[in-house]
């Protein structure tokens, strides 16, 4: 698995009196297959995972993926780190389902034939076969989430970062995404409020006010999170 190394990272948003420190001296190395992240609203989870593909640059400290710095080597990092937002509308960029899947592949300079073949395979793999030429914005929420995942995974990232991928989904589609994540060979970092999604994960971090306050097995982390909430 890739090595994610976050070294003494602090990050703030805003200036002057509006300045808000959202990550405080976060220091962690992640090499496990499946890493979960939980914590209260506003505790810094999304900001933390956005560091991993350079969407957020740390104010201080460094973030590297297999030794590549997310600021200095941003392009290379983004090639290797796929990112899925909570809201799939934020990342569906093309008019039709097939075009959206093909978009990321074309950007990677693959031949037309290769793009066509990989797009067809992805449509089948993600249950979107009958929807190739449908307007992407008319898909259901769950189908959009699957499309967003398909469009990222088709580019074969080494690390997949998922920020609350099941928040908008009904139970059936949430299960579909869970099965998909369970079946992935590559490293996954997943932020969620759905704690049962983390069953079987290798490591779970609990965030509180910009710090990692617990780091361990899913059962221990969830217990620590519950204790935190009950305080």
Ligand X SMILES: Nc1ncnc2c1ncn2[C@@H]1O[C@H](COP(=O)(O)OP(=O)(O)OP(=O)(O)O)[C@@H](O)[C@H]1O
What residues line the site for ligand X (CB under 6 A)? 13-14, 20, 22, 39, 41-47
Report in angstroms how near the CB of residue 113 gets to ligand X at its nearest: 40
- Using only the alpha carbons of the chain, give its radius of gyration: 18
Which of 72, 193 has the CB closer to ligand X?
193
Which of 79, 194 has the CB closer to ligand X?
194
Report in angstroms how near the CB of residue 153 gets to ligand X at its nearest: 22
Question: What does the alpha-carbon distance between residue 150 and residue 148 come to, in Å, rounded to a whole number?
Answer: 5
Tokens linked to 146: 């699957």
Report in angstroms how near the CB of residue 101 gets to ligand X at its nearest: 27
Question: What does the alpha-carbon distance between residue 38 and residue 195 come to, in Å, rounded to a whole number?
Answer: 8
Which of 87, 175 has the CB closer to ligand X?
87
Q: In which element (H, E) is residue 225 found? A: helix 218-230
Q: Count of alpha carbons within 13 Å of 74, Cβ hemisphere only?
A: 9
Which of 57, 107 has the CB closer to ligand X?
57
Tokens 């890493």, residue? Answer: 35
Report in angstroms how near the CB of residue 210 gets to ligand X at its nearest: 7
Query: Do residues 9 and 26 make contact, with C-beta atoms less than 8 angstroms apart?
Result: yes
Which of 128, 205 has the CB closer to ligand X?
205
First to last CA, the chain: 36
Environment class of residue 136 by beta-carbon count within 10 Å: exposed (0-12), middle (13-18) or buried (19+)? buried
Report in angstroms how near the CB of residue 12 gets to ligand X at its nearest: 9
């Amino acid at each position: 698995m890739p090595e994610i190394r976050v070294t003494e990272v602090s990050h703030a948003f805003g200036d002057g009196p509006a300045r808000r420190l959202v990550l405080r001296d976060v220091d962690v190395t992640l090499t496990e297959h499946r890493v979960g992240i939980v914590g209260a609203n506003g505790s810094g989870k999304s900001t933390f995972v956005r560091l991993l593909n350079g969407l957020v640059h740390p104010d201080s400290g460094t973030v590297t993926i297999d030794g590549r710095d997310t600021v200095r080597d941003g392009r290379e990092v983004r090639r290797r780190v796929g990112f899925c937002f909570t809201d799939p509308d934020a990342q569906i960029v093309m008019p039709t389902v097939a075009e959206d899947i093909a978009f990321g592949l074309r950007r990677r300079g693959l031949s037309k034939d290769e793009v066509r073949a990989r797009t067809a395979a992805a449509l089948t793999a993600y249950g979107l076969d009958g929807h190739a030429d449908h307007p992407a914005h008319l898909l259901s929420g769950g189908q959009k989430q699957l499309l967003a995942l398909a469009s990222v995974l088709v580019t074969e990232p080494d690390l997949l970062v998922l920020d609350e991928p099941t928040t908008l989904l009904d139970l059936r589609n949430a299960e579909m995404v869970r099965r998909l994540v369970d079946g992935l060979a590559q490293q996954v970092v997943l932020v969620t409020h759905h704690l049962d999604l983390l069953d079987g994960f290798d490591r779970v971090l609990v965030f509180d006010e910009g710090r990692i306050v617990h780091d361990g097995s899913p059962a221990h982390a969830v217990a620590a999170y519950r204790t935190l909430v009950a305080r």
